[in-house]
Amino acid sequence: MTGSRRAAGEGTRQEWREAGRDVARAVSGGMVVGIPLLYTMESWWAGANVSPPYLLAGLLACLVPVFLLVFVTGFWSRPPNHLGGTVMQTVQAVGISYAVAGVVLFALARVTWSMPLADAVGRLTYEAIPFALGAGLASTMVGGSSSREPQDQENGHRHSRAEATVKDIGITAVGAVVIGMAIAPTDEIPLLVAGVGGIRLLAVIALSLVVSYMIVFASGFLDERKRRAQRGVLQHPVTETVTAYLVSLLVSAVLLALFQNLALDAPLEETVARIVVLGFPAAIGGSAGRLVVG
């Protein structure tokens, strides 16, 4: 009896771990795909002024490709085995996308408690659409264990500590530049900074770190065992995440200065806020870069 209970408990914990990884994968995919639109003022205005019929049409247009993705690969680790399960997983994917988009919009002060409900729902829906597509695509990007790593280790092909560290920092910087360069010269940064300060700024920093960690170490996109076995000096998940975020902040500061969106005579608080606000998508770009290289 005791053995049966222990086995049941272990099975339950395994299910919870799988569910947690599925959610992390959906959030990561949503962030990678949805962040560019999140930093576009036209989407804020369109969402705040859209009429209900257009809003419903947009939501339905989002549900169709997400449904097809779920039908092909499933949203959770265990794919649905009937049409009702596919519909349920589609709704769950969209629901998670709404929740994630809502958290980010609130942290960036694009949705507030004082905002009219219709405006908030419109903005939330417009931003949740690309998040939902990313969440649906995420299930097709799950990495498996690699059989090459042990062979590489035996043949001496693994990078040295210094090479692995430089590789991670370099790829993070490249990914941060790719995403950050499209946002740094825009007027969205000062508009966002005007509403972000104090607690919200700390929330943006926390989101940047949490999402970066989830993308690389908790989503299942890469073989986590292989990732942890690499020999970089900063290869521990926590130190790598913090270091990569600092690199993304440095890249953000350079890009903002390059595009003259960072005034030397501006108050220190505003300068820091601009770097942190751009650092959020830059950190996601850096994490995505490390995913591509592996």
Q: Is 143 helix (H, G, I), strand (E, B) or coil?
A: coil
Please give the Cα distance from 26 to 100 (Å, whole number). 10
Q: Which residue has the tokens 């919009």?
A: 105
Picking from 288, 250, 264, the residue whose alpha carbon sits closest to that of residue 34 is 288
DSSP label at residue 274 = H
pLDDT tens, position by position, 218-246: 877 665 555 555 555 566 788 889 999 99
- The label of the residue with tokens 């003259």 reads 260
What are the tens digits of pLDDT across the range 58-90? 788 778 888 888 887 777 766 677 788 888 888
Question: Which residue's structure tokens are 């009937």?
Answer: 82
What confidence tens digit (pLDDT) does each residue in 248-272 have?
Answer: 999 999 999 988 888 777 788 899 9
* Mean per-residue pLDDT, 42-46: 82
pTM of the complete model: 0.82
pLDDT in tens, 102-134: 999 999 989 988 888 888 888 888 888 888 888
In the chain, the amino acid numbered 149 is E
